[in-house]
Amino acid sequence: MSKHIIEEANRCLLCKVPQCKKGCPVGTPVNEVIQLLVQGHIEQAGEKLFLNNPLSVVCSLICPHERFCEGHCVLQKKGSPIHFSSIENYISEYYLDKASIQPIEKNGFRIGIIGSGPAGITVAFVLALKGYDITIFESEEKIGGVMQYGIPDFRLPKSVLEKIKQTLLKMNIKIRPNTLIGQALSIDDLFRDGYQAIFIGTGVWRPNILKIKGESLGHVHYAINYLKNPDVYDLGRSVAIIGAGNVAMDVARTAIRKGSREVTVLFFRGENDITANKFDYEYAKIDGVKFQFYAAPVEFVDEGVIYAKVSEAIDANGQKQYVTGDDRNLFKADSVIIAISQSPLNNIVSTTEGIRTSDHGLIITDSIGRTTRPGVFASGDVVTGAKTVVEAVNLSKKTAEAIDAYVRSVNGLPVEEVV
């Protein structure tokens, strides 16, 4: 075992009222896990992590821990919180490698899960542990959704997702790759074939657009498309990235690793307004990414980006306002990548009656994931918009319990209230 892991675990105060647990969206029992580890019960620690968060191994690598568990550690006040991310990763990897996860006896009810991103995988694990016969329908060839096709390898090695896939298969969960629901098969077809409930966890894969002149030019691309397979892009030496969220940081750092020498993020606000996680922003600067603030793109041209300078002003109510100037400036770049978030595709809702969506195309649900069509549930980014993996897990655990309650109810079985 790594000396670093031991030292970090031994630093934990094992608080009786752990603030780290309160700070975690999925309520990871940090103190209990660490106590099991130091007592030599690593497999029990891994099981506790897995049952609380089936994607613990992923969250240990990509969670913004400084906002969640580590940011709430009482030792944070002294400037050195317990680095639980490292401990969690060590335990979770060990558990997936060593634990003898066994399939549960089937209860006779079949559930269809559309999408194998964080939400779909979470619901699959939770319901499989209750005995449901689970089939995952994945439109791509590999599972993982945004974890597979939207997060670079240097942040999340794809070997981790292969371990998760093997765990799904160990639990007799069926996976149908290259199957886009809404084309050959519809949700109505799944109900026809005996699925008691359907879960939608298809994420957000339609890039938001700027709607400015030049957006269709050949050197202009969208972030979510680029991250899906960056090796097929020839971006050239210099790249301009529009946007300053986590996806923009991933794109910028990937472009540098793929050979672009000058990568610059253009953002229409200031440094303090960047929406990316602090550490992702700092890592991007370490990797050599440059930043140009207060620059609003107004047109794309063959030579790069035409932008206007933005200034800050305070309105009559004391609120900060951003004023775009009339000036026009050229930022030279061989390629441009637009990273201003995404919205859902409509292949399912356009072929299914009874599922309401918002003006932005997000599926409308109640607090536990029930859509406006009975028997159809949804959670994750397709409901909330782009969020962290752990936030998707938290909502999806509640939705899995709601699915269980629904199936039991329609089949005349006892039901526990879901909150």
* 337 strand-pairing partners: 221, 241
**pLDDT score, position 101:** 80
pLDDT single digits (tens) 285-303: 999 999 999 999 999 999 9
**pLDDT score, position 167:** 95
CA atoms within 13 A on the CB side of 59: 33
Q: What is the mean pLDDT of residues 39-68?
A: 96
Tell me the backbone φ, ψ of residue 273, rounded to 5 degrees. Answer: -100, 5
pLDDT single digits (tens) 337-350: 999 999 999 999 99
Task: Please choose, from the candidates 77, 102, 84, the residue with its C-alpha nearest in 3D space to the C-alpha of residue 24.
Answer: 84
* 221 strand-pairing partners: 337
Element housing 36 (H / E) = helix 30-38
* Cα(42)–Cα(174) distance, integer angstroms: 29
Q: To the nearest whole percent, how much of the chain has pLDDT over 70?
A: 99
Q: What is the mean pLDDT of residues 159-163?
A: 97
Judge contact between 54 and 107, C-beta under 8 A: no
CA atoms within 13 A on the CB side of 292: 21
**pLDDT score, position 60:** 97
Residue 99: what residue type?
A
* Cα(210)–Cα(373) distance, integer angstroms: 33
Confidence of residue 163 (pLDDT cuts 50, 70, 90): very high
Examine the pLDDT at 99 and tell me if it is beyond 80.
Answer: no
**pLDDT score, position 199:** 98
107 burial level (CB within 10 Å; 0-12, 13-18, 19+): middle
* Cα(89)–Cα(64) distance, integer angstroms: 14
* Cα(309)–Cα(307) distance, integer angstroms: 7
* Cα(120)–Cα(165) distance, integer angstroms: 12
**pLDDT score, position 317:** 81
Spatial neighbors of 154 by CB under 8 A, at least 6 apart, are 253, 254, 257
Instruction: Spell out the alpha helix ranges (H) of 325-388.
Output: 381-384
174 versus 321: which is more confidently predicted?
174
* Cα(113)–Cα(133) distance, integer angstroms: 11
Which pTM value belongs to this model? 0.95
Q: To the nearest whole percent, how much of the chain has pLDDT over 90?
A: 92
Domains delineated in the chain: 3-98 (1.10.1060.10), 110-205+343-410 (3.50.50.60), 209-340 (3.50.50.60)
**Mean pLDDT of all residues in the chain?**
95
Confidence of residue 2 (pLDDT cuts 50, 70, 90): low
pLDDT single digits (tens) 350-369: 999 999 999 999 999 999 99
